[in-house]
Amino acid sequence: MKKLILLIIVLCSASHLSATEQEPEVIIYKGRTYKMYSAPLEPYFGTHPKVRPTWRSIGYVQPDGSVTYYHE
């Protein structure tokens, strides 16, 4: 019974969760201010699909400082 009540509480509170927008990086170049989000090349790849890389490499920094790469 306690598990059922906990499940109901968790499911009801999950409907109130929301995420916030990412704060952009601010780049100042030749006196102009640009806001850079996480994928600044997406508009370019949208207009030039032939130059988009065909694979992606995801790396994770381990606690000892080494980097592990996973290829998709």
Q: Is 49 helix (H, G, I), strand (E, B) or coil?
A: helix
**58 in any annotated domain:** yes
pLDDT at 17: 63
**57 in any annotated domain:** yes
Sorted by sequence, the CB contacts under 8 Å of residue 34 that are 6+ apart come out as 26, 27, 28
Question: Per residue in 11-62, pLDDT tens?
Answer: 777 666 666 667 787 888 899 998 877 777 788 888 988 887 766 556 666 7
* pTM for this model (two decimals): 0.29
Counted domains in the chain = 1
**13 in any annotated domain:** no
**49 in any annotated domain:** yes
Q: What is the DSSP letter of 65?
A: S
| Domain extent for 43 | 22-71
